[in-house]
Chains A and B, each alone.
Chain A
Amino acid sequence: MSAPAIAIRDVSVAFPGKRAGDEIRVLDNISAQVARGEFVCLVGPSGCGKSTLLNIVGGFIPATAGEVLVEGQPVTGPDPRRIFVFQENGVFPWLSVRENVGFGLRGRSAAERAEIVAHYVEMVGLTGFEAAYPRELSGGMRQRVEIARALAANPDIVYMDEPFGALDFITRLKMRADLVRIWQSEKKTILFVTHDIEEAVQLADRVLVMSQRPATIQRVVEIDLPRPRDLDSPRYLEKRDEIFHIMGMSLRVGEALNV
Chain B
Amino acid sequence: MNDISEPQMAVTSQARSRHATKATGRPAQDWLSVGLPLGVGALFLLGWHFGVRFSGSDLFPTPLEVALGILELAQRGLLLKYIVASLFRVSWGFALAVLIGVPAGLLLGWYARAFQAFNPLLQIFRPISPIAWIPLAILWFGVTDRAPIFLIFLASVFPISISAIAAVQNMQPVYLRAARNFGLSRSELFRQVILRASLPQIITGVRIALGVAWLVVVAAEMIAVNSGLGYLIIDARNAGKRYDLVVAGMVMIGLIGLVLDLLVRQLEKFDEVRWGYANRR
Instruction: Give the interface segment out of A19-27, A73-81, A196-204, A211-219.
Output: A73-81
- Say whether A141 contacts B6, CB under 8 Å: yes
Indicate whether A90 sits within 8 Å of B175 (C-beta atoms), given known contacts A80-B181, A138-B10: yes
Indicate whether A94 sits within 8 Å of B196 (C-beta atoms), given known contacts A80-B183, A137-B10: yes
Contact with A along B131-156 (1 / 0, CB 8 A): 00000000000000000000000000
Contact with B along A198-232 (1 / 0, CB 8 A): 00000000000000000000000000000000000
A244 interfacial by beta-carbon distance below 8 Å: no
A250 interfacial by beta-carbon distance below 8 Å: no
Question: Which residue of chain B has its CB nearest to the CB of A86?
Answer: B174
Once bound together, how far apart are the Cα atoms of A141 and B1, in whole Å? 16
Shortest CB-to-CB span from A1 to chain B, Å, is: 29
- Say whether B14 contacts A136, CB under 8 Å: yes
Q: Which residues of B contact A125 (CB under 8 A)?
A: 2-4, 6-7
Shortest CB-to-CB span from B80 to chain A, Å, is: 39
Contact with B along A169-200 (1 / 0, CB 8 A): 00100100110010000000000000000000
- Say whether A138 contacts B178, CB under 8 Å: no
Shortest CB-to-CB span from A240 to chain B, Å, is: 22
Shortest CB-to-CB span from B21 to chain A, Å, is: 14
Once bound together, how far apart are the Cα atoms of A140 and B280, in whole Å? 17
Shortest CB-to-CB span from B270 to chain A, Å, is: 9
Q: Which residues of A contact B183 (CB under 8 A)?
A: 78-80
The number of residues on chain A lying at the interface, defined by a beta carbon within 8 Å of a beta carbon of chain B, is 43
- Say whether B3 contacts A174, CB under 8 Å: yes
Q: Which residues of A contact B3 (CB under 8 A)?
A: 125, 174, 178
- Say whether A127 contacts B182, CB under 8 Å: no
Q: Which of A58, A93, A104, A106 contacts B275 (CB 8 A)?
A: A93
- Say whether B1 contacts A86, CB under 8 Å: no
Shortest CB-to-CB span from B51 to chain A, Å, is: 49
- Say whether B274 contacts A133, CB under 8 Å: yes
- Say whether B14 contacts A89, CB under 8 Å: no
Once bound together, how far apart are the Cα atoms of A141 and B131, in whole Å? 52
A44 interfacial by beta-carbon distance below 8 Å: no
Within 8 A of A (CB), among B154-202: 172, 174-175, 177-178, 180-183, 188, 193, 196-197, 199
A84 interfacial by beta-carbon distance below 8 Å: yes
Once bound together, how far apart are the Cα atoms of A104 and B281, in whole Å? 24
Once bound together, how far apart are the Cα atoms of A106 and B191, in whole Å? 14
Indicate whether A181 sits within 8 Å of B1 (C-beta atoms), given known contacts A140-B6, A153-B182: yes
Question: Which residue of chain A has its CB nearest to the CB of B10?
Answer: A138
Q: Which residues of B contact A58 (CB under 8 A)?
A: 181
Shortest CB-to-CB span from A197 to chain B, Å, is: 23
- Say whether A135 contacts B279, CB under 8 Å: yes
Q: Which of A86, A95, A96, A132 contacts B177 (CB 8 A)?
A: A86
B30 interfacial by beta-carbon distance below 8 Å: no
A126 interfacial by beta-carbon distance below 8 Å: yes
B40 interfacial by beta-carbon distance below 8 Å: no
- Say whether A141 contacts B10, CB under 8 Å: yes
Question: Which residue of chain B has its CB nearest to the CB of A174?
Answer: B3
- Say whether B180 contacts A78, CB under 8 Å: yes
Within 8 A of A (CB), among B238-254: none
Question: Which of B172, B177, B188, B196 lies at the interface centre, i.e. has the most chain A CB atoms within 10 A of its CB?
Answer: B177
B11 interfacial by beta-carbon distance below 8 Å: yes
- Given A78-B177, A94-B272, 20 further pairs, Cβ under 8 A: A60-B180, A77-B180, A80-B183, A82-B181, A92-B178, A93-B281, A94-B196, A94-B197, A94-B199, A94-B273, A106-B188, A126-B4, A135-B275, A135-B279, A137-B10, A141-B10, A144-B7, A171-B6, A174-B1, A178-B1
- Chain A residues proximal to chain B, CB less than 8 Å: 58, 60, 77-80, 82-84, 86, 88-90, 92-96, 103-104, 106, 122, 125-129, 132-138, 140-141, 144, 153, 171, 174, 177-178, 181
Q: Which 5 A-B pairs have the closest CB atoms?
A: A138-B10, A93-B275, A90-B178, A80-B183, A78-B181
- Chain B residues proximal to chain A, CB less than 8 Å: 1-4, 6-7, 9-11, 14, 172, 174-175, 177-178, 180-183, 188, 193, 196-197, 199, 271-276, 279-281
> What are 13 of the A-B contact pairs (CB < 8 Å)?
A60-B180, A78-B180, A79-B183, A83-B181, A84-B181, A88-B172, A90-B177, A92-B193, A92-B197, A133-B271, A137-B10, A138-B10, A171-B6
